[in-house]
């Protein structure tokens, strides 16, 4: 069952349960996938569907940050709930320790003092589906900082 199939099935369940927040969130992500499918003029692969989901989660993260800065906790909490709904469809992310070990392994071939950009490129390629970009970036910075000391 693809992500889109799960989303559509859960959309029907949300309709039956009259869960308005879940319903609107699922409609939004299904709409985003439909736009991407029309844009590319082909069916979306599983990776494409994951990319759309990740983009939607990232948008929620950015909105949460902006609403919190602006003192709009009511809107920030709504975005947090939507992010939680969307995160259920993403694969599980690595723990902090596992992420650091994976980053260390990914940048090991680059030598003792790798450039940040090269290290990020290697880490993102190795860990794309296992953690978000911000977490990978922090782990790479920590690992490069540890190597310089």
d(CA 40, CA 57): 21
Q: Residue 145: pLDDT band by 50, 70, 90 thresholds?
A: confident
Helices and strands (DSSP H and E) totals, the chain: 7, 0
Contacts of 34 (CB under 8 A, 6+ apart): none
Q: What is the pLDDT of residue 25?
A: 94
More confident residue, 107 or 148: 107
Q: What is the pLDDT of residue 148?
A: 57
Q: Residue 35: pLDDT band by 50, 70, 90 thresholds?
A: very high
Q: Calculate the dihedral angle through the C-alpha atoms of 95, 132, 60, 10, rounding to the nearest 10 degrees.
A: -70
Q: What is the pLDDT of residue 105?
A: 83
- Domain segments of the chain as ranges: 3-87, 96-148
Q: What is the pLDDT of residue 130?
A: 74
In CATH, which superfamily holds the domain spanning 3-87? Uncharacterised protein YqeY/AIM41, N-terminal domain (1.10.1510.10)
Tokens of 63: 């909105």
- This model's pTM is above 0.85: no
d(CA 22, CA 133): 26
**In the predicted model, what is the mean pLDDT of residues 101-107?**
82
| Cβ atoms of residues 140 and 116 within 8 Å | yes
């Amino acid at each position: 069952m693809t992500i889109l199939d799960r989303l559509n099935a859960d959309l029907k369940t949300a309709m039956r349960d009259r869960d308005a927040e879940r319903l609107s969130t699922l409609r939004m992500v299904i709409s985003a996938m439909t736009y991407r499918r029309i844009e590319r003029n082909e069916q979306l692969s599983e990776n494409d569907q994951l990319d759309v989901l990740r983009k939607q989660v990232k948008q929620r993260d950015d909105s949460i940050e902006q609403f919190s800065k602006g003192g709009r906790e009511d809107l920030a909490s709504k975005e947090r709930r939507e992010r939680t709904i969307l995160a259920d469809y993403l694969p599980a992310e690595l723990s902090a320790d596992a992420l650091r070990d994976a980053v260390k392994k990914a940048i090991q071939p680059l030598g003792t003092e790798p450039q940040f950009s090269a290290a990020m490129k290697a880490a993102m390629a190795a860990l794309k589906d296992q953690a978000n970009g911000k977490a990978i970036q922090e782990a790479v910075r920590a690992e490069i900082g540890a190597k310089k000391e």
